[in-house]
Amino acid sequence: MEHKTVRVAIYARVSTEEQAEHGYSIDAQLDTLRNYCKMYGKTVYGEYVDRGVSGKSVEGRYELQRLLRDVETGEIDEVIVWKMNRLARKTIDLLKMVDHFSKYKVAFRSFTENFETETAMGKFALQMLAAVGELERNTIVDNVKMGLKQRARTGNYNGGLVLGYRSLATGDKRSKGSSLEIVPEEAAIVRKIFELYASGKGLRAIANQLNHEGNKTKLGNPFSTTAVKEIVTNPLYAGIIRYNRFENWNERRRKGKNPDPIIVEGKHEPIIPKELWEKVQVLHNEKSKVNPRVFDGQYLLTGLIRCPECGAPMVANRTKNRLKNGTFIIRRYYSCSNFRNKGSAVCHANSVGADYAEQYVLDRIREVISEPRILQDLLETINHRKSNTIGPLKQEWQSIETKLAAIDEKRKKYFALYEEDAIDREMFVTRIDQLSDESEALLQRKAEINHELGAENDEPITAEYIQGVLQQFDSLIQLATLEQKKSLLRLMIKEIHINEKREITSIVMTFDEQSQTLFLGVDPSAMQAEGSSFLSKEKVHLFRAPNRFTIIL
């Protein structure tokens, strides 16, 4: 019986911090795994390398996403990594990926933790080692958090950019940024903000004044209402350390608000006196008690329409006008978010009527469905754009391959010159480092192109498919509840453009694999149930779909 050669996919990853602090090397991982394959007579099908990327999630790891797609082709027999945490740091993520491999009869190997996942004991070992690895990581995280909390309790600052101060390195690398020094020109802006708020000015008025005067935030951006609010509610400026305001920020964001944060006297010099701080807090608390304006959420296109002046998303706005007969009428608009948050120094309202915009979008979709001529023009545009997108990407990919080959030749040349003592060690190391940096940048771009090409499909889209997609979308919209309509529109519509006359000029709709599977495959009759969730309903087959395509109406 002929022996089948095992086709192996090598996956390697290193984050920027790991490479800097621990000396992990992509080249070392790859060399080790290549030698392993050579030793056991296995063929390397492909190498998938994510450079400078964290292992916390799949997002941004383009080469891992390409690997998960390629596993489905049936051309890979085994996936190997240098260490399990190169693939995933969380046990649940690792097990999901290994289960995905198993679904397509692909084995998983870790060079360092040597076991096989095909057997029951191998799977058990995988689960145990993954759990132990996650426990070790969580223990380290908890110890770091404990140390930071203790530092905060003693009045030390734990780092982070803040207007009015600069962070100073004190001690080793891990304690860098724990000491604060006042930046006079920034402190003047902070004092102005507190004094303006104490005089009765609101957040938006203060942001508008600061922007008109040319002031910038710590990151060099115009001031927004949120930026001003963060300053007037930050006790750091009154000499107080506040720490652990939010718990598990990466997972929960502002939902993880801690009811009992650490608040102690700080060791740094305050920018404003305690009296001014207390006055501003009293005013802020009083304003916070004011009943919020009535908002019934009847805005379907919030964040989808783009400002014709600055390109920022447009947000909900309304006006209440008294008629001659004494009654009031409420008019709904979408206005520039930059204007709403940062004032007229940054942009203008550029308001567009909400009733007009929402009706236009729905009518335009139905018009395209019912008019064969419009549909044909749309089809030609889509297929032309697809061919124009994929072609240049393939050319850029080939150009990168040529440049990488040239860098490899240069690297060999410098090694030869160094061995012949034609150049000194300092020049050799400098040039090799420069070539490595160039190579890393090209390889990162190559991974991005691979991701884009993998999501595209160069087969032409048919008119029947587009019509089917839009008809299904229209049917769902007509039967959907308000919240379902919002979800559908945000899932399908990428952005809506208007001109200076506040007229809609184009609607950009993007349909990817997830949206087509989860939403456009829903039977519209399933939407009729009150409060039903169309994500959980039985799917109906439309047509064989491309991975992703964009329609501009």
Q: Tell me if 397 is assigned to some domain.
A: yes
Cβ atoms of 94 and 87 within 8 Å: the answer is: yes
Whether residues 496 and 519 share a domain: the answer is yes
Q: How many CB atoms lie within 10 A of CB 220?
A: 6
Number of domains composing the chain: 4
- 351 as an active site residue: the answer is no
> With b meaning 16 or more CB within 10 Å and e meaning fewer, what string describes 303-341?
bbbbbbeeebbbbbbeeeeeeeeeeeeeebbbbbbbbbb
Name residue 24's amino acid: Y
Q: Tell me if 427 is assigned to some domain.
A: yes
Answering whether pTM is above 0.75, one says: no
pLDDT (0 to 100) of residue 132: 67
Tell me the CATH number at 243. Answer: 3.90.1750.20
Q: Alpha helix (H) ranges present in 72-213?
A: 84-87, 91-103, 120-153, 184-198, 203-212
Whether residues 231 and 125 share a domain: the answer is no
Q: How many CB atoms lie within 10 A of CB 156?
A: 21
**Distances 430 to 25, 26, 51, 404, 425 between C-alpha atoms, Å:** 18, 19, 21, 18, 9
Tell me the CATH number at 117. Answer: 3.40.50.1390
- Provide the token pair at 230: 């963060």
Q: Tell me if 209 is assigned to some domain.
A: yes
Name residue 453's amino acid: L
Final residue belonging to a domain, choices 262, 288, 314: 288
Final residue belonging to a domain, choices 229, 263, 288: 288
Report the candidate in 351, 427, 442 with the shortest Cα–Cα distance to residue 396. Answer: 442
Report the candidate in 426, 423, 519 with the shortest Cα–Cα distance to residue 480. Answer: 519
For tokens 């945000």, what's the residue?
A: 490
Final residue belonging to a domain, choices 316, 331, 361: 361
Set 15, 102, 167, 487: catalytic member: 15
Residues 6+ apart with CB under 8 A from 58: 64, 65, 68, 93
Whether residues 198 and 237 share a domain: the answer is yes
Q: How far apart are CA 492 and CA 520, in angstroms?
A: 10
Rounded-to-10 torsion of CA 68, 70, 72, 74 = -140
pLDDT in tens, the chain (553 residues): 456 788 999 998 876 554 444 445 788 888 889 998 998 899 999 888 887 666 566 667 788 888 888 888 888 999 998 887 777 777 677 778 888 888 888 888 888 877 666 666 666 666 676 666 667 666 776 777 777 777 777 778 877 788 989 887 665 544 444 678 889 999 999 999 999 988 888 888 899 899 989 999 988 889 988 889 989 988 889 888 888 776 654 544 455 566 677 888 888 889 999 888 988 888 888 777 654 454 545 788 888 899 999 888 998 888 877 777 878 888 889 999 888 888 888 888 899 988 899 888 888 878 877 777 777 777 777 666 666 677 778 888 888 888 888 888 888 888 888 777 778 878 888 888 888 878 878 887 887 777 667 655 555 667 777 777 777 777 777 777 777 777 778 777 888 999 988 888 888 877 665 555 545 554 444 444 444 444 433 333 333 445 566 777 7
Q: Tell me if 367 is assigned to some domain.
A: yes
Domain that holds residue 340: 305-361
Q: How far apart are CA 61 and CA 15, in angstroms?
A: 11
Q: How far apart are CA 220 and CA 211, in angstroms?
A: 11
Whether residues 468 and 374 share a domain: the answer is yes
Whether residues 435 and 499 share a domain: the answer is yes
Q: How far apart are CA 186 and CA 281, in angstroms?
A: 21
Q: Tell me if 186 is assigned to some domain.
A: yes
Whether residues 535 and 423 share a domain: the answer is yes
Euclidean distance between the first and the last CA atom of the chain, given in angstroms as a whole number: 59
Cβ atoms of 347 and 310 within 8 Å: the answer is: yes
**Distances 452 to 12, 65, 75, 389, 547 between C-alpha atoms, Å:** 20, 11, 21, 10, 11
Report the candidate in 301, 328, 303 with the shortest Cα–Cα distance to residue 314. Answer: 303
pLDDT (0 to 100) of residue 431: 85
Whether residues 367 and 510 share a domain: the answer is yes
Whether residues 545 and 402 share a domain: the answer is yes
Q: Tell me if 2 is assigned to some domain.
A: no
| Angle 281-283-289 from CA coordinates, rounded to 5° | 100
Q: Tell me if 156 is assigned to some domain.
A: no
For tokens 């008294």, what's the residue?
A: 322
pLDDT (0 to 100) of residue 548: 60
Whether residues 269 and 330 share a domain: the answer is no
Q: Tell me if 160 is assigned to some domain.
A: no
Name residue 8's amino acid: V
HEC string of 78-114 equals EEEECCHHHHCCCHHHHHHHHHHHHHCCCEEEECCCC
Whether residues 350 and 457 share a domain: the answer is no
Whether residues 372 and 356 share a domain: the answer is no
Whether residues 102 and 225 share a domain: the answer is no
